[in-house]
């Protein structure tokens, strides 16, 4: 089994003010996935400009101060859920157009968190879809949280990957992002950045400010924290640039491609 | 708690060749729901032209004859799931536009059937959304079936209502349809049809051909079979015409409106 992440910054224009799909990337990646002929594949995608602006505007995951604030946040939750669901429809449709039997899985229908960490999620259905040859497509979403002070939370694609991986023990986890891998320091702010080929701990970074984008789900650091926990369980993952032609396809086919491997 | 069904033949143009929403009905009904000021409300909607044509084309729920047939059906399942999900987005957006904090619940993410009847569905999340004041919006969908000869099935909005009602014991179940209630005989084929005010068994019908439309989920007879089972449990339901102005609103407010009451 392979779990493949499609980053929100690749399949959407993350800097856009309105939810905007990057159809070029999405269609190319859908074709690469089809061409790789991968069986036993789960796709997890981020929300990009379909989720982060709304989750941020309504401070989903932050405590509310009054009944009025709660009601506003509740409507913001519904709005965010609606947009990320629309993105998921677009992703599934693009995959299906290329012949991939993509099936949508909506986290907010069956996952809850406690203090922003998944505490309940019956993922046996993901396994059932896999066994029938579907490609389940699950995504970063808003979910109910059992902590009474927040009640609602964002569950990132990366946290979902981590949860799925711990429970389904995939052979490989591939993260298609908008960067060439993990840099030792932020390439936009520093000279001579270099890609770290293998990472086992955050201490190996010269600076934790090593991502080009920061989002409500924690950016690259949030991603690495999830992946390092997996590494501790013996599940290796790799971060590659999904913006470069053929990297997703080659990685799915098991070829060594440029990027960063996270392992114990 | 009230469970309200919005029939696929009301919110869509069921006879259309392409998936077509009836925005006039949908927007009016969304406004009526808002105006009724109902708390503790679950909405279940049908698929209409967003679901039935696809479920029928791919014979979802019928045995498959070969690997090739299975693969075709699998893609049909994914296509059907995608369209009914789009309708659900449109319904939730219309409700939200009128100020109803609608939250989508996707059956195929957590419900499975055995020989086309729901055998597994953790609906505690529906209750959790209700408790926070959301209006969960759940819908007729395709789901995995544990019977190896069919593997996939259609779960109708009516079956979902039945399942929810048995488990959540609502005070009322209201079905908004495209007819004035249950006729003693098909009003399109017979003279002098009359609305049955109270129904306790199918034997009270002069003819079982008492609906204007027949669909993959069994039409009016399928609906009545579900509701009669509820009646046996002491849960009364009413079938009203959601195409008539204000009936949904008045029914939600607890007023007596024209239609058929199904009870023991």
CATH number, domain containing residue A7: 3.40.1160.10
Range of the domain at B253: 2-262
Longest dimension (CA), chain B: 54
Instruction: Work out the pLDDT band at A7, boundaries 50, 70, 90.
Output: very high
Residue A221 has pLDDT above 90, yes or no: no
Rounded CA-CA distance B199/B2 in Å is 20
* pLDDT tens per residue across span A155-177: 999 999 999 999 999 999 999 99
User: Which pLDDT score, from 0 to 100, does residue B135 have?
Assistant: 98
Taking residue A215's Cβ as centre, other Cβ atoms within 10 Å add up to: 23
Residue-wise pLDDT for A92-121, tens only, equals 999 999 999 999 999 999 999 999 999 999
Contact present, B161 and B226 (Cβ < 8 Å): yes
Given CA atoms B206, B207, B213, B218 in this order, what sign does their dihedral have?
positive
What span, in angstroms and rounded, lies between the C-alpha atoms of A228 and A230? 5
Q: Give the pTM.
A: 0.93
Q: What is the mean pLDDT of residues A24-47?
A: 97
- Residue A177's alpha-carbon distances to A14, A189, A199, A247, B119, in angstroms, are 12, 19, 16, 11, 39
Band of residue B194 on the pLDDT scale cut at 50, 70, 90? confident
Say if the Cβ atoms of B109 and A112 lie within 8 Å. no
The residue-averaged pLDDT of A229-248 equals 95
Best mutation target among B86, B98, B110, B119 (most A Cβ atoms within 10 Å) is B110
Residues of B with CB under 8 A from a CB of A: 71, 74-75, 77-79, 81-82, 85-86, 89, 92-93, 96, 101-110, 112, 122, 125, 128-129, 132-134, 144, 151-152
Mutate to test the interface with B, among A91, A103, A130, A132 (most CBs of B within 10 A): A103
Count of domains forming chain A:
1
Q: From the CA atom positions of chain B, what is the Rg in Å?
A: 18
CA distance B168 to B160: 12
Secondary structure string (H, E, C) spanning B203-219: HHCCCCCCCCCCCCCCH
């Amino acid at each position: 089994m392979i779990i493949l992440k499609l980053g929100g910054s690749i399949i959407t224009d993350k800097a856009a003010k309105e939810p905007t799909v990057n159809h070029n990337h999405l269609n190319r990646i859908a074709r690469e996935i089809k061409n790789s002929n991968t069986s036993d594949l789960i796709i997890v995608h981020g929300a990009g400009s379909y989720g982060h602006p709304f989750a941020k505007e309504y401070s989903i995951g932050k405590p509310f101060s009054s009944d009025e604030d709660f009601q506003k946040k509740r409507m913001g939750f519904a709005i965010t859920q609606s947009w990320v669901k629309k993105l998921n429809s677009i992703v599934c449709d693009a995959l299906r157009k290329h012949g991939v039997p993509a099936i949508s899985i909506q986290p907010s229908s069956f996952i809850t968190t406690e203090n922003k960490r998944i505490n309940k999620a019956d993922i046996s259905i993901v396994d059932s879809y896999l066994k029938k040859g579907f490609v389940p497509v699950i995504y970063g979403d808003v979910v109910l949280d059992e902590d009474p002070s927040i009640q609602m939370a964002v569950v990132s694609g990366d946290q979902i990957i981590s949860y799925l991986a711990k429970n389904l023990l995939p052979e490989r986890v591939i993260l298609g992002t908008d960067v060439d891998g993990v840099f030792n320091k932020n390439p936009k702010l520093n000279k001579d950045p270099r890609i770290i080929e293998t990472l086992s701990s955050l201490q190996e970074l010269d600076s934790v400010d090593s991502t080009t984008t920061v989002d409500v789900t924690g950016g690259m650091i949030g991603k690495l924290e999830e992946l390092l926990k997996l590494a501790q369980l013996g599940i290796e993952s790799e971060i590659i640039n999904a913006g470069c032609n053929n990297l997703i396809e080659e990685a799915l086919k098991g070829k060594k491609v440029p990027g960063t491997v996270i392992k114990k």
